[in-house]
Copies of this chain bind each other. A is one copy, B any other.
Amino acid sequence: MKPYFNISPSDLSIFTINVFKSIGCSSQDAALAADVLISADLRGIDSHGVARLDGYVRLYENKRINTQPNIRIIREKKGVFTIEGDAGLGLVVAPKAMETAIEKTHQYGVSYGAVCNSNHFGIAAYHAMMALEHGYIGMAMTNASPLVAPTFSKERMLGTNPICYAIPAGKQAPFVLDMASSAAANGKLEIAERKNLKVPEGWLETKDGANTDDPKDLKEGGHLLPLGSDKNHGSHKGYGLGALVDILSGVLSGSSFGPWVPPFVSFLPVLPDMPGKGLGHFLGVMDIDGFIEKQEFLDRMDQWILRFKQAKTVDSNQPVIIHGEPEADMHRMRMEKGIPIIDKVANNLIALAEKYNLEHPFQ
């Protein structure tokens, strides 16, 4: 017997919508939140999909999520704006903010928005890729649970603060860069920990700032390392990117920042004296047509992608990868063949079904 269930995206979606409705979301918000989670599963980013559904429910039970939020613009100046998320699900707040940025881009050619008082927004790519439907370039970033120590520090000061850009191409899949600013995303450590595996040196350190390859040290007061891992290999750059994301998402929006970001992970406390409300996002949209004739850009993107695919390889069995292409392939495959849900995640989801007296697809 397979150690996982194979679930149709629509069945998984109906179940997820019902869970969000059970905690008080409107039908529309529940559908939107579910769409963000399922899109992660479809793209193969299993760590950010329905595997985290019980995490959102836990935040709701801890009174950190308002499932009937009044999401609204609180400040704006032509192409830029700030949105108050009213403690809503980031899965709902971020797409609504992105819609505002898209509307403003119709008018001004570009728009950037900061979001305060939000929560974990799922995969950054979902939000950035909303721009692709309009042929625009999209950008999304967010601050997150403090797990990463700056270069020279052993204190958890920053999230794995992701940066995502989605850029359309012509016949090729869109270029979608969606990256943590840490050496490794926390999801990778979680997987290694679950399987009792060691991780490469350079991913995390102990609470005393010593090298370790044991992912369990993170929960023992340790910290993740910025992209670059150590100063000699440019960790000040990864730290700088994480800081940039924190400043644009947190300081600029009016939300909490740095070590005060209210955590999604259950093993970190919520700190007192927060300098703002909830966590923050920063989103942007640009109209390609304001820079260059649209079709010319799409053709040039295809040329760029095809040239990079032909780059000389070190190992002939391992071609150069274009960001977003493996995820687009996975999306196609899973839409057709279903989404594999491992036993552990299925059990969590079945528990949610029992809690809210819902039908579920894990039979």
Contacts and interface: CB of A to CB of B under 8 A. Distances in A.
Interface of A: 75-82, 107-112, 114, 149-155, 157, 165, 167, 175, 177, 179-184, 200, 202-203, 208-209, 227-229, 232-234, 236-238, 240-241, 243-244, 246-247, 250-254, 257-259, 275-276, 286-292, 296-297, 300-301, 303-304, 307-308, 311-315, 318-321, 323
Contacts of A243: 175, 177, 308, 323
Contacts of A300: 251, 257, 275-276
B177 A80 contact: no
| Residue picked from A155, A167, A237, most chain B C-beta under 10 Å | A237
A180 B241 CA distance: 11
Given A150-B320, A153-B314, A297 B236 contact: no
Contacts of A313: 152-154
Contacts of A233: 183, 200, 202-203, 228-229, 233
B297 A110 contact: no
Nearest to A317: B152
A318 B149 CA distance: 14
Contact of A320 (B153, B202, B209, B254): B153
Nearest to A298: B251
Contacts of A318: 152
18 contacts: A78-B79, A78-B290, A81-B290, A112-B286, A151-B321, A152-B319, A165-B244, A177-B243, A177-B244, A179-B240, A183-B228, A227-B227, A227-B228, A227-B234, A240-B323, A247-B301, A253-B292, A259-B307
Contacts of A153: 311-314, 320
B258 A292 contact: no
B292 A82 contact: yes
Contacts of A236: 179, 321, 323
